[in-house]
Structure 1
Amino acid sequence: MIERVCAPDHILCAWGLTREFGGVQALRGVDLHVARGTITGLIGPNGSGKTTLFQVISGMDRGATGTISFDSESILGWRPSEIYRRGLARTFQLSRVFPELTVLENLVVAGHRRDRSAAERALGLLERVHLREYAAVLGKNLSYGQQKLVEFLRVLMSDPALILLDEPAAGVNPTLRQTLWEMVRHLNGLGTTFLVIEHNMEVIADLCSDVYVLSDGEIIAQGDFASIRNNERVLEAYFGKSRKHGAA
């Protein structure tokens, strides 16, 4: 069997991803292609399979069938640590900071090295998001929004080529949210690729050059935001009926 790999201008490709739980298909033959250096959106109603797709891509769920190519290597079935070291990192829907470690320690443990240079990198990242003064604060003493921001910075410690963001701004106050999106834009300008799950359509429209829509485990639309916002299948997935039948 010939291994499928992405074209050089794409960093992540998936073909025919299928994941079944007790007879229920959470993913149904998902095809996905993320171009290098882009911010790509992944949207869909609750329960559509978005987080399951992230679990499969990141190796947290190794029970799927199909093909995943990351940076020209087939990674389906790899352990999460192997995928992380290869350059693909992710955040989670719910914050996962280490509560008994300081903010600085939370960042340093995520890097490939744990020496003075790692601490300097961590402090630089904290400075960029106006959290350097929290370096010695325990993770459990941060606000939820600060925890989400620290989790994002922790991902950056490995200098990944591709970052999967799972609702990174959920529960975050407007000021921290703005800081987060500015950081995403900055990193993207430096060449980092992002695949983002986000429910705020204004953010998707503003950030993403390409958008995939997932519904009941299937990709039902793909394109720029202007094209998918009026797609009849997308409207039906979100509102239960198409515009032809009276959806607003």
Structure 2
Amino acid sequence: MSAPEDINARQKPAVATTGSGTNVILATRQLTKKFGGLTAVDDVDFEVNRGEIRCLIGPNGAGKSTLLNLITGKLSPSEGDIYFDGNDLTGLDPHERIDTGLSVKFQSPHVYENLSVKRNLQVPLQRTDRNVDRVMAETLEQIALTEQADTPAGDLSHGQQQRLEIGMAITLDPELMLLDEPVAGMSVDETADVADLITSLHDDGMAFLVVEHDMEFVREISEQVTVLNQGAVFRQGPIEEIETDEAVRRIYLGENA
């Protein structure tokens, strides 16, 4: 999708950082959020590459949700900038950010419980010019809910509702999907289903930023991991390096070095 016309004048730094000639699709620069005397996100420089699955982890209160809310536009930064796919998102409303190719699924399912699975998928498609019937059939298959197409969303299990909301997000054909604890409250089998879905979408070229506490799930899907602590980037690297880092174990995994 093309970016909103009113941001064209602010694109130069964004293009240099996340434009088509770069491998980076999302970047924050000196991003800071203060709530009174509390600094929840502290001068964060952070990147997600095109086609990458990056997991964001850290102890409670590390600033993960605040950082995600800054990227989605639910919160405005105190300082700093947010660039995505050549666009400066910093001053955009949440719906304008979606129009640039960003999609998000928050922790609790936000589905329309009285509508069928099929109708839920139609809601975001109204924002696009995509072929509704084709996209819906493809999406139902991807999220393994074809047989439940006419079932009210409120009758689905927790795991099915989570997959449905991911399906609603992917109907927009995003370049990057943000997932906030996508397997919270799920069974082992449901978690495996979501891991398979993310892996499949990743194989098709979609990038992911996943905020997650479930380390088994992180091991299953992640290519790169960023650890936040006290609002700042603490460590970054492959999951194998992160899990063997003694300082990370102290602050996140609750182990003694």
* TM-score normalised according to structure 2 size: 0.87
Structure 2 residue corresponding to 1:81, chosen from 75, 95, 100 = 95
1:101 aligns with 2:115: yes
Aligned to 2:17: 6
Task: Kindly provide the CA deviation profile for residues 59-100 of structure 1, in whole angstroms up to 9, marking residues without a partner as x.
Answer: 111244211110021111211111101101111011111122
Moved more, 133-142 or 184-193: 133-142
CA distance in 1, matches of 2:115, 2:171: 16
Give SS of 1:120's match.
helix
In 1, are the aligned partners of 2:191 and 2:217 still within 8 Å (CA)?
A: no
Task: Please report how far the alpha carbon of residue 48 of structure 1 lies from its aligned counterpart in structure 2 after TM superposition.
Answer: 1.3
Q: After TM superposition, list the pairs within 5 Å mapping 1:50-199 onto structure 2.
A: 50-112=64-126, 117-199=131-213
Change (3 A) 1:88 1:67: same
Unaligned runs of 5+ in 1: 244-248
In 1, are the aligned partners of 2:29 and 2:46 still within 8 Å (CA)?
A: yes
**Runs of 4+ deviating beyond 4 Å:** 112-116, 239-242
* TM-score normalised according to structure 1 size: 0.90
In 2, are the aligned partners of 1:14 and 1:31 still within 8 Å (CA)?
A: yes
Give SS of 2:247's match.
helix
CA distance in 2, matches of 1:145, 1:157: 19
Aligned to 1:207: 221
Q: Which amino acid aligns with 1:175?
A: D
Q: Which amino acid aligns with 1:106?
A: N
Task: Please report how far the alpha carbon of residue 174 of structure 1 lies from its aligned counterpart in structure 2 after TM superposition.
Answer: 2.6
Q: Percent identity?
A: 36
Give SS of 1:202's match.
helix
CA distance in 2, matches of 1:171, 1:121: 29
Task: Kindly provide the CA deviation profile for residues 181-227 of structure 1, in whole angstroms up to 9, marking residues without a partner as x.
Answer: 11211111111101111212222223222110011211100111122
Task: Kindly provide the CA deviation profile for residues 104-155 of structure 1, in whole angstroms up to 9, marking residues without a partner as x.
Answer: 1111111255789314312322223331122122222222211111111000
CA distance in 1, matches of 2:191, 2:241: 26
In 2, are the aligned partners of 1:108 and 1:119 still within 8 Å (CA)?
A: no
Aligned to 1:19: 33
Say how many residue pairs are matched: 243
In 1, are the aligned partners of 2:53 and 2:209 still within 8 Å (CA)?
A: yes
CA distance in 2, matches of 1:47, 1:167: 15
Task: Please report how far the alpha carbon of residue 235 of structure 1 lies from its aligned counterpart in structure 2 after TM superposition.
Answer: 2.1
Q: Which amino acid aligns with 1:3?
A: P
Give SS of 2:97's match.
helix
Give SS of 1:6's match.
helix
In 1, are the aligned partners of 2:116 and 2:152 still within 8 Å (CA)?
A: yes
In 1, are the aligned partners of 2:121 and 2:171 still within 8 Å (CA)?
A: yes
Cα RMSD for the two superposed structures: 2.1
Give SS of 1:53's match.
helix
CA distance in 1, matches of 2:243, 2:256: 12
